[in-house]
Structure 1
Amino acid sequence: MYLIAETILSELLSLGFFEDGSTKKVYRLSHPALSHLVHIKKPDESKKLVLAIPLQYESKLEAAKTIPVHGGVVGRSSNYKGYTPAGASSNPALTFDFETKAQLHQFINLMFGLQTKASSTAPNLNTQELITESKALTKVRVGQDKFREALQNYWGGCSVTGYNHMEHLKASHIIPWAIDESARLDPFNGLLLTPNLDTLFDKGDISFDDDGLIIINPKLSNADCKLLGLHSSMKLRQVDEQHRKFLHWHRTAYQL
């Protein structure tokens, strides 16, 4: 009996992972210490080999047999974002199942070097690694706060609507945090959006052209747009030249 997707999701969230652009078919998770996403297939997609990680960890498969885990085989899905160049029809990943939470924690520690509750009692605990990781997480949180502050100063409200109750607005990366480390704190790689626009933008249901005019995914019907408050004349209130390379990436990634 293997852990279900929701259990794996819950465990990874407790370990400092956070959802980053999940779809109807997979949960996409980032971690501040990792430069890539990990994916969890949702129940409707698969009853086994639920967790997907990049192929770069293939060299650690032999060591993973000691945990043990089930899988380690290559699976392919167009939903495995960031593993191959944008536009690939089917991206490869290593896929796994786990019988227990302890196995999952040991796997995360082995593959990614992230100390977890299950591994923290191990005799080979590296205190310095834990200190280093804690400092890294603190640095990330500070960076995210600075990123949000920079967006608030630049936009003064929602990048589209001008709504300026900052506590309701989301600081949204154009190129996601997990994909381009060099752009993580660049304020031109961000938009300040109301929650509905942030969700739509994050999932690729809207984007913006080089002049800031909204692009709406054709899958959204006129009725959908009306209910969501979308209309074709919506646009970013200002566009700097430095925004354009990031907006181009977003349109290309989501084929809009």
Structure 2
Amino acid sequence: MMLRFRYSFLSKALSVAALLGTGALLEGCRHESVVPTPAVDYYPLEVGTYRTYAVSDTVWSKGVATPANYQFREAVTEKFTDAAGQTAYRVLRARRVSSNQAWSDDSVLVVQQQVQSILMTRDNVRTIELIYPVRAGKTWKKYAFTTERADSVRAFDANVEQPFTTPGATPKTYATTVIARDQQPIEANDGLLRRGGNLQVFAQGVGPVLRRRYAYETFYTTSNGASVITPAVIQVGRSRLEVLIDSGKL
């Protein structure tokens, strides 16, 4: 009787312990959450590093396209503290026509990695390039620091943290990316007479891997003032595509 009692008590104790362990495991699963990828992971910066982009630039005039191809290199040259006491990086943008030519300085960007955003200053205009957390369809005011384009909105695409393959002769696939797209006003993108867009693709651990912006008109005005719509022909406009082709340390 004593042995049976001890065995029964021990079995019940083990059963309770097992149930408690299972409950704790389930409770842990219920409280486990996926931490979103910080914005800085999509725009890493380190002094002495660079990114090189192949650029395809096209200008249309009177229905005739004039293409131009060249390269941009964005090199992180300095880490400093700005007037507001915030850490910032100076990025020197250089340009060349082909890989066998020397780089020529083009412009300077200032990029800041904030806790919840990536800020960029170009031509004395500060923009919010990315925000944290990364969520599908989330919007923000790109030009929140200026009154000129205060209602300009940028948004993440519906598919976030998904693979993306760049176009071109040597395509490359990045495992985890986000696409940030500027929302265009109807007067700039009515789908009939005018079309426009501006988007960037950021890859985790890499940074910007593609930029595309375009604005063009598919109509022309005759000598008597009549408008002729040409849906398949761009009459006036400009398009630029930048694709990352190389990165590393200087």
TM-score range with shorter-chain normalisation? under 0.3
Which protein has the bigger helix share?
A: 1
Q: Which has the higher contact order (CA 8 A, sep 6+)?
A: 2
Which structure has the larger Rg over C-alpha atoms? Answer: 2
